[in-house]
């Protein structure tokens, strides 16, 4: 009986170690692949993607900082690329805040610009004064959380907008055409 417990324990330990080493190898391969996707303008994107260059670059920075492998790929250059983008939709501004904050940079000015885009209904639209959307409000909430904004009126207004626009089944519609999406659930964590 004791031998069986020891054998089972060794099996579980071996499996755990295997998973840890496999995870590190997969992360290294993923980061190495991202390194091959750096473009001349220092963005990180692939020609085989449906996402915008801004989206793929900010997601790459988030992934690299999440797995704490920034030394393998120069995320500073990718962030410099993001700072050259003049188009200031709520989505882009929120993504810039998230990326810069993940890299430990000051986002006070960008956060102030984002706060200026909040609508009276508590949500955020594509631009200041545009109708609030679930997607823009979700991204703004994620950015505000990462930036350390804790003002209950600001955060509460955005959360209230999302709750008011939640479908009966708990999902969120991105538009009148799209019946449901999971995108807002991350912002409500």
What pTM was estimated for this model as a whole? 0.71
Q: What's the pLDDT at 33?
A: 75
Neighbour count for residue 107 (Cβ, 10 Å): 22
Q: How far is CA 62 from CA 97, 100, 102, 114, in A?
A: 11, 9, 7, 19
CA dist 40 and 37 (Å) reads: 10
What pLDDT, in 10s, does the model give residues 147-178? 999 999 999 999 999 888 888 877 777 665 65
Q: What's the pLDDT at 64?
A: 73
Place of tokens 């069986």: 4
Please report the DSSP string for 65-125 in residue order.
HHTT-GGGS-HHHHHHHHHH-----HHHHHHHHHHHHHTT---HHHHHHHHTTB-TTS-EE
pLDDT band at 114 (very low <50, low <70, confident <90, very high): very high
pLDDT band at 186 (very low <50, low <70, confident <90, very high): low
If 0-12 CB within 10 Å is exposed, 13-18 middle and 19+ buried, where does residue 175 land?
exposed
Is the CB of residue 162 less than 8 Å from the CB of residue 150? no
Q: What's the pLDDT at 22?
A: 44
pLDDT band at 18 (very low <50, low <70, confident <90, very high): very low
Highest mean pLDDT among 7-16, 94-103, 178-187: 94-103
């Amino acid at each position: 009986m004791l031998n069986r417990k020891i054998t089972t324990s060794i099996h579980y330990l071996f499996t755990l170690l295997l998973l840890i080493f496999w995870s590190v190898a997969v992360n290294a391969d993923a980061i190495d692949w991202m390194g091959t996707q750096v473009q001349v303008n220092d963005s990180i994107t692939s020609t085989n993607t449906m996402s915008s260059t801004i989206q793929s670059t900010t997601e790459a920075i988030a992934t690299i900082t999440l797995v704490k492998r920034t030394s393998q790929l120069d995320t500073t250059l990718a962030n410099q690329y993001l700072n050259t983008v003049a188009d200031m939709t709520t989505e882009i501004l929120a993504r810039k805040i998230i990326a810069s904050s993940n890299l430990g940079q000051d986002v006070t000015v960008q956060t102030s610009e984002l706060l200026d885009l909040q609508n009276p209904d508590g949500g955020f639209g594509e631009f200041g004064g545009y109708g609030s959307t679930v997607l823009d409000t979700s991204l703004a909430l994620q950015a505000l959380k990462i930036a350390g904004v804790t003002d209950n009126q600001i955060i509460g207004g955005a959360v209230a907008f999302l709750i008011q626009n939640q479908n009966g089944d708990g999902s969120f519609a991105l538009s009148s055409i799209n019946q449901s999406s999971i995108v807002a659930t991350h912002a409500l964590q």
